[in-house]
Structure 1
C-alpha cells in the first residue's frame, strides 16, 4: 500500500478518481419488476375477487358462518374482495399463501411463517406473523388454508430476464436524456481575462438563464451587449427513444402475462379479438386458479363423507355464461332432452329452484327416433 499512497499523494486527480461512486443504480430494475408483476397479478386478483363462494349441502346453498367469511367479511379489517385480491397477490408473487383461522373466527393472511415438513405426518407452521403480531402456537396443515403456485417459469424469469431488461431500460433512458438534452453556446466579448472569480460569476449568470428557459413557459431575460446565448438544435431528439421505452415496458408486461396465462390483448386494453381473449383468459388462467382454491377449501372445510355425498364448496364468478347471450343454445339443450331446467340453471351459475317441472326432461316434436318416422308407401 505504500507505493499506492505515494502515487495518490503526487496526483490529486487520480486520488479523486478512486472516490467515485461506481455502484450500479438498481432503481430502474426495481421499478420495472414491480410494474410488470403488479400489473399482471392485480389483473388476476381483481378477477378472482369478484367470485361467489357457495357452500352446498344436500343440493342447496347454505347461508352460514363460512358463507359470511368467504363472501362478506373474512376479518375485522378486510372486505371479501380485498381479502381475495391480497390472497392472489401473495400466491403468485410469493409462490405460496397461508391463511389461518383465529379464535375469534377471523381469516387472516400470514405475512411470514416457517413451514416444517414431515414425510408421514402433517406439516406444521410456526412463527406465523400477521402485521406486527406473531402467534406463539403452531398450526397443523389440516388447520390452515395453504396453497402453492409452483410456477418455475415465472421465478426464473424474475431472476434472470428482469436483469437484462433493466440494463437495457437504463441504457435507453440515458440515450433518451442525451437525445433530448438542451445544448447552447455562449459568446462573450470580453477584453478581460477570465480568472476563476470571473468564470464563477459568468457561470452563475448562465445557470440562471438556463433555469429561466427550462422551468418557465415564458422566459424574459436581459440582452447584454457583448453577450450572446444561442441554443443548438438537436436533430436526433424526435421522440423515437421515448417510443422505444414504451415498447420495452409493454414487451416486459406481455412476457409476464404470457407466463401467467393472460392474453396480451386484455392486459394492454386492446379490443381486437376481445371475446376470444376473454375465453382464453378464463380457460387457461382463472379456471385453474379457481380449481386450486376450491380443492383446498373442500379438503379443509368439508368432511370426506359429506363431500362424497355431494356436499361441496363451489366458486362462481365472471366465468359463468350470460343467459341472454346463450338463450338459443339453452333452448336447444332443453328441447332435446339432454338437460333439465335445473341442470341448465347450474351451468349458467344459478341455483336450483323447488319447481318439479324443472326437474323433468322434455323433448319437442322435432326430436324423434329415426324408426318412428312414418313414410309413404314405396311403389
Structure 2
C-alpha cells in the first residue's frame, strides 16, 4: 500500500495544486464601478449654485462665498462638493465642520456618539493628519447621511458573485491564449547536472523572449529540442464576455445609487427623459438633504420663518431657448407674471415693475351669454 501512495505522490500533488488554486477577486473591478458612479453623481451636484434667499431676493455674503467659491484654503467649491458626495457614497455619511477662521472642512474620520434624548456629539474628528481635541455638537456641524443603511454590504454581496465570475472568465481567457511548449532532452544530457543547469537558464531566456517580443527565434542545441504547442482555438470565454461581466456589475452599482444606466454608458436614446428622471429622483433628493441640513444649521428658526434660507439651483439640462415657447404661453395667457416665471426657472427677481404685472397678448376673452328670441324689445 505504501508503495502505491509513493508511486502516485507526484500525481496527488498535481491534484492538490488544482484544488488550492485561488480564484482572483479582481478588486479593481469593484473600485472602478464605485468610482465611476460616485464621481458621475458628484460632478453633477458640484455644478449647483448655493444661494442665500432673503425675502424675495438673494444676497451674497460670506456664506455665499464659502459655499460657491472657496470653502477652505485648499479646495475650490466644485472639488469640495464632489468630495462630499463621493464620501457619502463610500461611507454613507459625511461630516463637515467649521473651523475658527470659518473654513468648511470635510472630516476624514470621526466618532459619532448617538443619544436617545440628548444632542449627538462627534469626537476624534480627524482631517488629514490633524485630530481635533474637542468634541463637536450636532448643531455645530453639517452631518449628512446618504441612506438609512450603508450601501457597502449590498455592493460587497454583488461583488462576491461578479468578482468570482470575472476572475474565472479572465483566468480561462489567459489559459486559452497561453503559449505552451515541450522540451526533449537526451538521456546523456540529463545525467550531467552542469549541462541541465545551463539548459534551464537557456529555457528561461526563451520564455522571457516570448513574453517581451513579438517575434522570437529559438536556436537549436545538441541534445535539446524545443516544440511549441499553441493552446489557441475557439473554445473558452471571449473578451466580449469579460466586458459583459464588468458592465453587468457596473450597471448593478449604478441602479443601487439611482443613476440611469443609459446615461452612464453615453447612450443617446431618450437622453432627455433619462436625464430628467436622474435629476428628479437622484440629484434633487440629495440636494434637499444638503439644503435641509444647511437651513437648520446656518439659520435660526426666526430667520428661516422671516424668509432667510438656503436654496440650491441645480445644473439645468434645458436652456432658456428650449423653454421659450412655453414661457411665452404662460405669460401671454395672463396666468403668470414675468417675475413668477423667473422664480420658477431659478433666476433672481427683476426690479422692473412691469414684470410684476399680468398681460394677455392672445385673443383670450370671457364668453358672453347669447340673447335668444331675436331682437330685444
Q: TM-score range, shorter-chain basis?
A: 0.7 to 0.9
Q: Are 1:155 and 2:152 an aligned pair?
A: yes
Is 1:62 the counterpart of 2:59? The answer is yes
Q: Tell me by how many angstroms 1:21 deviates.
A: 12
Counterpart selection for 2:171 from 169, 174, 183 = 174
Distance in 2 (CA, whole Å) between partners of 1:366 and 1:87 is 52
- Aligned partner of residue 289 in structure 1, secondary structure: helix
Counterpart mapping for 1:135-214 below 5 A: 135-150=132-147, 152=149, 154-187=151-184, 190=186, 192-195=188-191, 197=193, 198-214=195-211
CA 1:196–1:102: 2 relative to 1, 3 Å: farther
CA distance in 1, matches of 2:218, 2:17: 39
CA distance in 2, matches of 1:235, 1:13: 26
| RMSD of aligned alpha carbons | 3.3
Return the TM-score normalized by structure 1.
0.87
- In structure 2, how many angstroms separate the alpha carbons of the residues matched to 1:320 and 1:61? 23
Which residue in the other structure is 2:43 paired with?
Answer: 46
Q: Which residue of 2 aligns with 1:75?
A: 72
Listed as ranges, the gaps of 5+ residues in structure 2 are 1-8
Uncovered stretches (5+) of structure 1, i.e. residues with no partner:
1-10
Question: How far has the Cα of 1:202 moved from its partner?
Answer: 2.6
- In structure 1, the residue matched to 2:82 is 85
CA distance in 1, matches of 2:141, 2:323: 40
The answer to whether the 8 Å contact 1:320/1:348 transfers is no
2:38 is paired with a residue whose SS is: helix
Compared CA separation, residues 168 and 13, structure 1 to 2 (3 A): closer
Q: Match of 1:262? A: 259
How many residues align? The count is 368
Pick closer, same or farther for the CA change 1:151–1:26 going to 2, 3 Å: farther
- Distance 1:376-1:130 versus aligned 2 partners, 3 A rule: farther
TM-score (norm 2): 0.87
CA contact (8 A) 2:333 2:362 kept: no
1:363 paired to 2:360: yes
Deviation per CA, 1:135-154: give whole Å up to 9, x if none: 11111111110111115483
Shift of 1:227: 5.5
Q: Distance in 2 between matches of 1:102 and 1:375?
A: 78
Checking the alignment, whether the CA contact within 8 Å between 2:113 and 2:122 is kept in structure 1 is yes
- Residues 218-227 or 206-215, more deviating: 218-227
Matched with 1:5 is none
* 1:179-328 pair list within 5 angstroms: 179-187=176-184, 190=186, 192-195=188-191, 197=193, 198-223=195-220, 228-236=225-233, 240-319=237-316, 321-328=318-325
Mapped partners of 2:23, 2:232: distance in 1:
29
Give the deviation of 1:216 after TM superposition: 1.4
For 2:361 and 2:369, locate their aligned partners in 1 and report how far apart those are by CA, in whole Å.
Answer: 14
Distance 1:18 1:113 in 2: 46
